[in-house]
C-alpha cells in the first residue's frame, strides 16, 4: 500500500514584543498562506488521515487555517517533541505512526522539516521545484511524498517527491 507524507513548514509568524518563541502567533500573511496551502492540498484530492503538529502556537494556527480548507480534517496530535526537532527526531515521530494511516501531515519548523524533506527524497521524480525545496524551505513550504513502505520502515532516500509548493498570498 502506498502512503502519502505531507511535510509543511509553519506559515509566516509575527514577532510581537515580550512573547516567547513558542507562543508566537501567525501574521496576517501567514494565516492567508496557510489557508492557501489547505486549498492547494484539497485541489489535489489529498485527504489527510492524521496530523502531527508541533505544540508551538504558529504551527497550531497553521494547521487550523489549513484544516478549514480540507475535506474532513483529522484532530491534530500536538507534540512538544516536534518543536525545535531535527530531521532525525521528526523521522522518528513519523516512524511511530500506525500503518492504518494512509496520508500523514507533519507541521513543524525549520531547519528540521526542510532537512527531513531533503533527507527522505529518493531523487527519482522529475519535480522542477526540487532545487527550491532543497535550497530554501520557506514558511508555508509544502512537500508531498509517496512512501512505498510502512511508516516504521521509512528511511533516508526512500520516499518519492510528488510535488512541492510555496504559496505567496
Give the pLDDT band (50/70/90) at residue 56.
Answer: very high
Rounded CA-CA distance 53/162 in Å is 22
Give the pLDDT band (50/70/90) at residue 117.
Answer: very high
Rg of the Cα atoms in the chain: 15
Rounded CA-CA distance 139/37 in Å is 11
Q: Name the residue among 122, 147, 118 with its Cα closest to residue 135.
A: 118
Query: Do the bridges between strand 77-79 and strand 3-9 make them parallel or antiparallel, or are there none, so unpaired?
Result: unpaired
| pLDDT of 168 strictly over 80 | no
Q: Average pLDDT, stretch 41-57?
A: 97
| pLDDT of 169 strictly over 70 | no
Angle between helix axes 112-120 and 87-95 (nearest 10 degrees) is: 70
Domain annotation for the chain: domains and CATH numbers: 3-165 (3.40.50.1240)
Give the pLDDT band (50/70/90) at residue 74.
Answer: very high
Amino acid at each position: 500500500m502506498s502512503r502519502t507524507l505531507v511535510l509543511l513548514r509553519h506559515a509566516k509568524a509575527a514577532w510581537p514584543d515580550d512573547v516567547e518563541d513558542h507562543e508566537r502567533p501567525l501574521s496576517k500573511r501567514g494565516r492567508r498562506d496557510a489557508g492557501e496551502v489547505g486549498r492547494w492540498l484539497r485541489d489535489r484530492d489529498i485527504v489527510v488521515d492524521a496530523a502531527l503538529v508541533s505544540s508551538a502556537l504558529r504551527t497550531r494556527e497553521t494547521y487550523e487555517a489549513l484544516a478549514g480548507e480540507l475535506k474532513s480534517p483529522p484532530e491534530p496530535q500536538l507534540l512538544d517533541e516536534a518543536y525545535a526537532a531535527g530531521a532525525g527526531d521528526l523521522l522518528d515521530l513519523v516512524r511511530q505512526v500506525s500503518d492504518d494511516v494512509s496520508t500523514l501531515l507533519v507541521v513543524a519548523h525549520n531547519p528540521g522539516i526542510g532537512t527531513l524533506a531533503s533527507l527522505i527524497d529518493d531523487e527519482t521524480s522529475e519535480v522542477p521545484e526540487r532545487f527550491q525545496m532543497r535550497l530554501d524551505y520557506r514558511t508555508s513550504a509544502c512537500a508531498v511524498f509517496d512512501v512505498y513502505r510502512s511508516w516504521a520502515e521509512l528511511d533516508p532516500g526512500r520516499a518519492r517527491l510528488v510535488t512541492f509548493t510555496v504559496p505567496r498570498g
